[in-house]
Amino acid sequence: MLNKLTASAGSSRFRLDLVLQAVFLALIFYLAYSVFHNTQVNLENRGIESGFEFLDKEAGLPIGDALISYTPTDSYGWAFFTAVVNTLYVAFFAIILATVVGVMIGIARVSRNWLVCRMAAIYVETLRNVPLLLTLIFIYVVVLSSLPGARSSWLLTEGILLNIRGFYFPKPLPQDGFGLVLFSVALAVVLCWGFRRWAKRYTERTGQELASFRISLVLLLGLPALTYLLTGQPLLWENPELKGFNYRGGLSLRPEFLALLLGLVLYTAAFIGENVRSGIQSVAKGQIEAAQALGLKPGKVMMRVILPQALRVIIPATTNDYTSLVKNSSLAVAIGYPDMVSVGGTIIGQNGQAIEIIGMWMAVYMAINLLISAFMNWLNARVQMVER
């Protein structure tokens, strides 16, 4: 009897939970629906257009610095896409450079060299405790006020120059036969990969180390260089030339892009540096002492013993910093780089359809960051597997 009672009480509690959850879910759906519905009605009452038809219409707005081909006669949709590519462009390079700088800062933070250690600490504390917006504006103003005008550019070497309008360098113009060079690059990469695998097994079998780094380098540089010479140097260069107000031709990086890149890299590197430091410090001291006792050089200790174990701590934290970096790139508008928030803002100004554009911003940022998280989780899983 008693048993039966408890059982039925248990199942009714179970049912009550379910009911509560269902009610809560229904409430959320109802709220979401009523917000959506009322917004629709009110937009209609005020005669505000809604929907995404405007994406096909001619944009008419200028984008000064576009990675892909864009003219004002293109559609709003293409203008937005151009700006998304700009966002990806700056975020991609910022993530790579921030990682490189961050790892160096992190290693410097645990250095036994007093000066190196202090400098890294000052760097981290300064960058981490100043709002990124201020850092960006500061860098932009410093960049602008330190660079010379177009007519008095700093000529680094023939075709490479720096002035207030940007960093200019020659544009490669591939000729017939350049495909072969590209092919040889791919071949070198494949060969190199195969060699590294073989060399690893060789070392495991014999205990002897090959100079695999040097051999790979020779392979990666030598093979393409040889092909390039044999095919008769199938590459011409177009140098930037001063015409009228600005240099034209060649390739260039605008000061807005450079300032944004620099700001994002320096800021995020401070955080990544801290991740690296905590990762390194999480590795048991005994591990390091054991490696040293085996006679490994300091560089090898770092690369082979400390970092692989530290990565398990570093990667999850760094995933957050990568996604923050992507979101922070939206500050571009303050210093005139046409990222998707800047261009989207213009589209809102022209079009008045704020909800649609904000929805698109959210969707794109979310997609980028989910992809980054997915990749980093995959990487993390791989690193975890190494654990023995």
Our finding on whether 72 is near another protein (CB under 8 A) is yes
**Distance from C-alpha of 266 to C-alpha of 284, rounded to nearest angstrom:** 30
Calculate Rg over the CA atoms of the chain.
Answer: 28
One symbol per residue from 267 to 306: x for binding another protein (CB under 8 A), - otherwise; what is it? ----------------------------------------
Our finding on whether 253 is near another protein (CB under 8 A) is no
Which residues in 214-231 are b (16+ Cβ under 10 Å) and which e? Answer: eebeebeeebbeebbeeb
**Distance from C-alpha of 245 to C-alpha of 268, rounded to nearest angstrom:** 36
215-244: which residues touch another protein (CB under 8 A)?
A: 243-244
Our finding on whether 69 is near another protein (CB under 8 A) is no
AA letter at 317: A
Segment interacting with another protein, rule: CB under 8 A, options 16-24, 118-126, 167-175, 345-353? 345-353
Our finding on whether 62 is near another protein (CB under 8 A) is yes
Our finding on whether 90 is near another protein (CB under 8 A) is no
Going by C-alpha positions, the residue among 343, 192, 176, 329 that lies closest to residue 262 is: 329
133 vs 303 by CB, closer to another protein: 133
63 vs 288 by CB, closer to another protein: 63
Give the orientation angle of helix 307-328 with respect to helix 76-109, to 10 degrees: 140
102-161: which residues touch another protein (CB under 8 A)?
A: 141, 144-145, 149
**Cβ contact 124:270 at 8 Å:** yes
27 vs 230 by CB, closer to another protein: 27
AA letter at 318: T
Phi-psi region of 155 (alpha: psi -120 to 50; beta: other; left: phi over 0): beta
Residues 19, 20, 25, CA angle at the centre, nearest 5°? 100
**Cβ contact 153:162 at 8 Å:** yes
Segment interacting with another protein, rule: CB under 8 A, options 90-98, 227-235, 338-346, 363-371? 338-346
**Distance from C-alpha of 350 to C-alpha of 357, rounded to nearest angstrom:** 12
Candidates 129, 158, 208, 245; binder of another protein (CB under 8 A) is 245
154 vs 198 by CB, closer to another protein: 154
Q: Which H/E stretch holds residue 286? A: helix 285-293
240 vs 273 by CB, closer to another protein: 240
60 vs 222 by CB, closer to another protein: 60
195: which residues sit within 8 A by CB, 6+ positions away?
212, 215, 216, 219
45 vs 129 by CB, closer to another protein: 45
Number of residues interacting with another protein: please give it, by CB under 8 A.
53
Our finding on whether 191 is near another protein (CB under 8 A) is no
Handedness of CA 42, 48, 54, 60 (dihedral sign): negative
- Give least dist CB 105 to another protein, A: 28
Candidates 101, 342, 364, 369; binder of another protein (CB under 8 A) is 342
- Give least dist CB 319 to another protein, A: 24
Our finding on whether 60 is near another protein (CB under 8 A) is yes
214: which residues sit within 8 A by CB, 6+ positions away?
none
Our finding on whether 363 is near another protein (CB under 8 A) is no
46 vs 285 by CB, closer to another protein: 46
**Cβ contact 257:97 at 8 Å:** no
Q: How far is CA 23 from CA 26, 33, 155, in A?
A: 5, 15, 70
Candidates 3, 69, 73, 206; binder of another protein (CB under 8 A) is 73
163 vs 275 by CB, closer to another protein: 163
Candidates 107, 335, 340, 364; binder of another protein (CB under 8 A) is 335
Residues in contact with another protein by the rule CB under 8 A: 34-35, 38-40, 42-43, 45-49, 60-65, 72-73, 141, 144-145, 149, 164-165, 243-246, 248, 254-256, 330-331, 333-336, 338, 341-342, 345-346, 348-352, 354-355, 358
